[in-house]
A and B are shown apart, each in its own frame.
Chain A
Amino acid sequence: MKSILTTLALTFSALVLPVSAAASVGQAMPKLGQLLPGASVPNTSGKVVLVDFWASWCGPCKASFPALNRLQEKYAAKGLVIIGVGVDDDAAKYKEFAGKMGAKFSIAHDSAHKAADFFAPPAMPSSYLVDRKGVIRYVHTGYHGAKTEADYTSEIETLLGASK
């Protein structure tokens, strides 16, 4: 009887265990250099950071690049750092896509999915807006054209205007 109960307990614990806890608003972002070993990550201390997860096989990610380029041009001088994290398994596809899209912001290849495992993006693309203190303040799932861009703009302006 005891063995049955033990087996049942073990089985159901496996069924209800969470897959992984996704990064959420209010959580501190760890140093990206640790999550993206081997990638050149710009200095983010005291800056507003937009971490965007993309992949070459994801259509909305492709659509989001021109908007991210516009945000980079508009707000980089004011203290915004955009980091596009590519999660492609195939390094060649990552490079090809990055070259084709002409990103004006920093991009990094998360080849080991270490950063993706930490953030656990619920959809592709997903992006995280981090304030100057390194705390995640906004999470975006998917890219919905002008609406998402307008949301980014107002949120970035709020975060850039906050105390340094």
Chain B
Amino acid sequence: MKLLTLLISIALPALSACSPALVRVKPYERGTLAKPVMAGSIDPLQKAMTEHAYFSREASFGGGGVGGGGCGCN
């Protein structure tokens, strides 16, 4: 029982650090997040071309989306 109390006492405050109230970045503090280097893809054209090649090549099992089939002729 004492061990359980100890574990809960340690785990709960540690988990509370995951709370969105504590980690949320305010809209006016997003200067660093707005930098181009933080974007999901630095070169949108290259990303589009890579994705096109991927879904064409892998169309038989759904490509980049769901479902399956396809001739792979895109």
Q: Which residues of A contact B (CB under 8 A)?
A: 3-4, 7-8, 10-11, 14-19, 53, 55-58, 87-90, 93, 113, 116, 120-124, 126
- Would you call the interface of chain B mostly helix, strand, loop, or mixed? helix
Contact status of A15 and B27, CB under 8 A, knowing A4-B9, A7-B9: no
* A-B CB proximity, top 8 nearest: A57-B34, A87-B28, A11-B12, A116-B28, A11-B16, A14-B16, A15-B19, A57-B31
The distance from the CB of A39 to the nearest CB of chain B, in whole angstroms, is 16
> By the criterion CB–CB under 8 Å, are A14 and B31 in contact?
no
- How many Å from the CB of A89 to the closest CB on chain B? 6
B residues apposed to A, CB below 8 Å:
5, 8-9, 12-13, 15-16, 19, 21-22, 24, 26-31, 34-35
A88 to B34, CA, bound (A): 12
29 contacts between A and B (CB under 8 A): A3-B5, A4-B9, A7-B9, A7-B12, A11-B12, A11-B16, A15-B19, A15-B21, A16-B21, A17-B21, A19-B24, A53-B28, A55-B31, A55-B34, A57-B34, A57-B35, A58-B34, A87-B28, A87-B29, A88-B31, A89-B31, A113-B28, A113-B29, A116-B26, A120-B26, A121-B28, A122-B27, A124-B28, A124-B30
